[in-house]
Amino acid sequence: MSKISETSTLTQATCPTEAVIRVERYAATSRILHWIVAVLVLAIWPLGFFIKFTKKEVTLDFYMVHESLGFLVLWIMLVRVGNKLLVRAPQPEGPAIERLVASVVHGLLYLFLIIMPVSGFLATNAHGFPLLWFGLVPIWSPVGKAPDIAWTLSAIHAWSAWILLTLFALHIGGVLFHHVIRRDNTLYRML
The crossing angle, in degrees rounded to 10, of helices 96-126 and 28-50 is 50
Q: Which residue among 23, 67, 153, 185 contacts ligand HEM (CB under 6 A)?
A: 67
Q: How far is the CB of 92 from ligand HEM (least distance, A)?
A: 5
| Residue whose CB is less far from ligand HEM, 11 or 103 | 103
Cα 131 from Cα 122, distance rounded (Å): 10
Can you spell out the DSSP letters for 47-96? HHHHGGGS-HHHHHHHHHHHHHHHHHHHHHHHHHHHHHHHSPPPPPPS-H
Q: Does 109 contact ligand HEM by CB under 6 A?
A: yes
Residues 7, 184: Cα–Cα separation, whole Å: 13
> From the list 8, 23, 25, 30, which residue makes contact with ligand HEM (rule: CB under 6 A)?
30
Residue 156 binds to ligand HEM (criterion: CB under 6 A) = no
User: By CB under 6 A, is residue 52 in contact with ligand HEM?
Assistant: yes
Which residue's CB is nearer to ligand HEM, number 19 or number 73?
Answer: 73
Residue 189 in contact with residue 116, Cβ under 8 Å? no
Q: How many CA atoms lie within 13 A of 154 on its CB side?
A: 14
Counting contacts by CB under 6 A, is residue 130 touching ligand HEM? Answer: no
- Backbone angle region of 96, left / alpha / beta, with phi > 0 → left and psi within -120 to 50 → alpha: alpha
Question: Does 102 engage in binding with ligand HEM (CB under 6 A)?
Answer: yes
CB of 11 to ligand HEM, least distance (A): 18
Q: Are strands 137-138 and 132-133 parallel, antiparallel or unpaired?
A: antiparallel
Q: Is 182 in the site for ligand HEM (CB under 6 A)?
A: no
Residue of 4, 1, 19 lying closest to 187 (CA atoms): 19
Q: Which of 9, 20, 29, 49 binds ligand HEM (CB under 6 A)?
A: 49
* Chain contacts with ligand HEM (rule: CB under 6 A): 30, 34, 37-38, 41-42, 44-45, 48-49, 51-52, 66-67, 70-71, 73, 84, 89, 92, 102, 106, 109-110, 113, 116-117, 120-121, 124, 131, 157-158, 161, 164, 168, 171, 175, 186-187, 189-190
